[in-house]
Amino acid sequence: MNTHNQLVFVYNADSGLFNTMADIGHKLFSPATYSCDLCAITHGLLSERAEWRRFIESLGAPCEFLHRDQFRARFPDARAPLPAIFRWCEGLLLLCADATAIAACESLADLQALILGHCLDER
């Protein structure tokens, strides 16, 4: 039974306007060294990709998106390298897609398949 099975997506970037502007500059001028593979796939230069938003809405599971600083403040004991995707289920934060798996995704379709295959498990 699925009781409170929420996906938590954590970007390897900090929140705030200055950090957002720095990220945009980094993605524009040095995309090969940009440190957040999750953001690189799900967002264009200035906004979230519409195809990604439609996919998230189709999942049928609540989703939360956190920046690195927000995640660390809320889950100070979680030590997974970022970016990462977790399942928050019955009071437990479970890693379902780590930074290596996300980095291996070459496209939005790859990321979607990763999420469908590893993050919606109801065990």
User: Does 19 map to a domain?
Assistant: yes
Which domain covers residue 19, as residue numbers? 5-118
Confidence of residue 84 (pLDDT cuts 50, 70, 90): very high
Interval 92-115: pLDDT, tens: 999 999 999 999 999 999 999 999
Q: What is the pTM of this model?
A: 0.79
Q: How far apart are CA 102 and CA 92, in angstroms?
A: 21
Q: Domain count of the chain?
A: 1
User: Does 48 map to a domain?
Assistant: yes
User: Does 123 map to a domain?
Assistant: no
User: Does 53 map to a domain?
Assistant: yes
Interval 45-78: pLDDT, tens: 667 889 999 999 999 889 999 999 999 999 999 9
Quote the pLDDT of residue 31: 53
Q: 48 - beta bridge partners?
A: 43
DSSP per-residue codes, 24-88: HHHHHH-GGG-S-HHHHHHB-SSSB-HHHHHHHHHS-S-EEEE-HHHHHHH-TT----SSEEEEE
Task: Look at residue 2 and tell me whether its pLDDT is greater than 90.
Answer: no
Q: How far apart are CA 4 and CA 72, in angstroms?
A: 21
User: Does 75 map to a domain?
Assistant: yes
Copy the structure tokens of residue 111. 């990321």
Copy the structure tokens of residue 67. 């920046």
Q: What is the mean pLDDT of residues 13-21?
A: 59
